[in-house]
Chains A and B, each alone.
Chain A
Amino acid sequence: MMLAPGTRVRVKLDWPELRGPCHIRTPHYVRGEEGTIERHLGDFPNPEDLAFARPAPIRALYHVRFAPKPFWPEGAAPDELVVEIFEHWLEAA
């Protein structure tokens, strides 16, 4: 199911890094954070599988917008932060 622009989402709070060798394109600082779908960018083979030359399912990739001021305590963060995130890292907020 395609996520429409404006949909509120949460990035999964997951740490595959603790489970063994992996290659993850979701930065640590957005995991567990809420954001807004800006737009669907396209569909691409999952890099987490490509990195190990495994068959890679095609996944939707979204631009997700965050308001990052609370991410870091001192408050010098950007007004908006936009990150490319694959669908399997997103859940309903």
Chain B
Amino acid sequence: MNILETPSDRLLEAVRSLLAAKGHLTTDEIAERIRITDGGSPAQGARMVARAWTDPDYKALMLRDGTMAAEAMAIPMRGLPPLGVLEDTEAVHNLVVCTLCSCYPRAVLGYPPFWFKSAAYRARAVRDPRGLLGEWGTVLPVGQKLRVVDSTADYRWMVLPRRPAGTEGWSAEQLAAIVREGDMIGVTIPTAG
């Protein structure tokens, strides 16, 4: 049998022990890395969106340089791919996909969700995106252009959704609480709840 077809939990145990025995990594390093990665979550991206909704200068920075905008919110970006931000407007709705693998703005949204990695999502986003949005019950206003961004190379992309009606006078914290993972990829649209 091809050794690569060994059950993956057994491969993990063996590879971990070999890498440790050869001094390449330690179990402490792995635990630390898991802890740091678990710290990334859609709440980070939601804080950026809420600030962009309340601070025009920050919004301008976010659209010009997403990496700097994330760093301005104390989100660590060093050594990570550059972050680009796609602005939704009355005229245009953005949807992000990676048809080749699963490129995802992990620094600001955390681990990619199951659906984002699925063959169905990757195939349908570029060919039948309005049908795909129906899986979430999302219907775009008539006349709004749908722009799909296939994240194929060195950038990672998040969507800056439109601020929903009925949120006038809300604080950045209140606004951040209504922004979900899917809103920042474009499969859903935030509402005042």
Residues of A within 8 A of B (CB): 25-27, 29, 41-42, 44, 47, 61, 68, 71-72, 76-86
A-B pair count, CB < 8 Å, reads 71
Taken together as a complex, chains A and B put the C-alpha atoms of A9 and B93 apart, in Å, by 25
Q: Does B38 contact A (CB under 8 A)?
A: no
Could you tell me how many residues of chain B have their Cβ less than 8 Å away from some Cβ of chain A?
Answer: 22
Q: For the complex formed, measure the closest distance between the CB of B81 and the CB atoms of chain A, giving whole angstroms.
A: 9
Q: Quick check: B148 and A84 within 8 Å, CB to CB?
A: no
Q: Quick check: A27 and B148 within 8 Å, CB to CB?
A: no
Taken together as a complex, chains A and B put the C-alpha atoms of A76 and B130 apart, in Å, by 8
Q: For the complex formed, measure the closest distance between the CB of B6 and the CB atoms of chain A, giving whole angstroms.
A: 23
Can you pick out 26 interface pairs between chain A and chain B where the beta carbons lie within 8 Å of each other?
Answer: A25-B152, A25-B153, A27-B100, A27-B152, A29-B99, A41-B82, A41-B154, A42-B82, A42-B154, A47-B154, A61-B154, A61-B155, A72-B127, A76-B129, A77-B126, A77-B128, A78-B148, A80-B145, A80-B146, A80-B147, A81-B147, A81-B148, A81-B149, A82-B147, A82-B150, A84-B155
**Residues in B whose Cβ lies below 8 Å from that of A68:** 126
Taken together as a complex, chains A and B put the C-alpha atoms of A79 and B148 apart, in Å, by 8
Q: Indicate with 1 or 0, residue by residue over B35-46, a CB within 8 angstroms of chain A CB atoms.
A: 000000000000
**Residues in B whose Cβ lies below 8 Å from that of A27:** 99-100, 126, 150, 152
Which B83-114 residues have C-beta < 8 A from chain A?
84, 95, 99-100
Given A41-B84, A80-B145: A86 and B126 interface contact (C-beta under 8 Å): no
Q: For the complex formed, measure the closest distance between the CB of A93 and the CB atoms of chain B, giving whole angstroms.
A: 19
